[in-house]
Amino acid sequence: MTARARTNARRAAVLGSPIAHSLSPVLHRAAYKELGLSDWSYDRFDVDEDGLPGFFEGLGPEWAGLSLTMPLKRAVIPLVDEISETAASVEAVNTVVFTEDGRRVGDNTDIPGMVAALRERGIEEVDSAAILGAGATASSALAALARVCTGEVVAYVRSEARAAEMRQWGERLDVEVRIADWADAEQALRAPLVIATTPAGTTDALAAAVPERPATLFDVLYEPWPTDLAARWSAYGGAVVSGLDLLVHQAVLQVEQMTGRSPAPLDAMRKAGEHALAAR
């Protein structure tokens, strides 16, 4: 390897704990190959909140950026020099870009990734929507709905504590949020857009209640896939947006920010993700 090649080599990685399951290396490496960035590498590191500051301290000038998953999306905020308005709106950073002048810039590509995934399916605007669940992903879903939903969002939750959190996020994001009990979650399935943000298995019991003519389901899971709910939804002719769609679209934005190359190769990245999931 020549000295010039060593100088031009750039690094990026995904951090989180656990991290072995992450598809991010598959997606980013597929993008680098398609873009001809043979001197770029993308790895994964198991890093928890306690280890994050030390990891940052050890980064050299060859680093271009980082992808962050749980539990680091909030823990990283004190370690960056600035964060975007999008990231600030949900207090979550999933992308850090290292600029040429050494600054660390945090962003959130999950939210525009959700919007892009919906638009790919022709969903530009809805007059109402429903969210199943009230965890961390639900706040990003609310932020995405702030861009595509013109009316009420009904959030189906299990506890008053979660209900209070969703009300607070709604006020902060300027989204009209109505809280409903999880026991009534079957009613959500009749909304023009349903976003399922719950862990694997949580919505299985709802599959039998899918209406004959469902509209659009955005299920943020990608493994196992399809979920029972997504399978029934598709069988009844409804449009389904998957967690892989979200993962690919948010990764596209990360690649563009880290490499400065646009557009990132969406199709190649999706095919790589599909192939990796099929091989598991």
Question: Which residues fall within 8 angstroms of residue 121, CB to CB, at 6 or more apart?
Answer: 216, 239, 241
Spatial separation of the C-alpha atoms in residues 2 and 39, rounded to whole Å: 12
Q: What angle do CA 54, 248, 155 make, to 5 degrees?
A: 90
Q: Give the closest residue to 220 by CA, choosing from 120, 146, 113, 122.
A: 113
**270, 244 contact by CB (below 8 A):** yes
Q: How does DSSP classify residue 220?
A: -
Catalytic machinery residues: 73
| Coil/strand/helix, residue 163 | helix
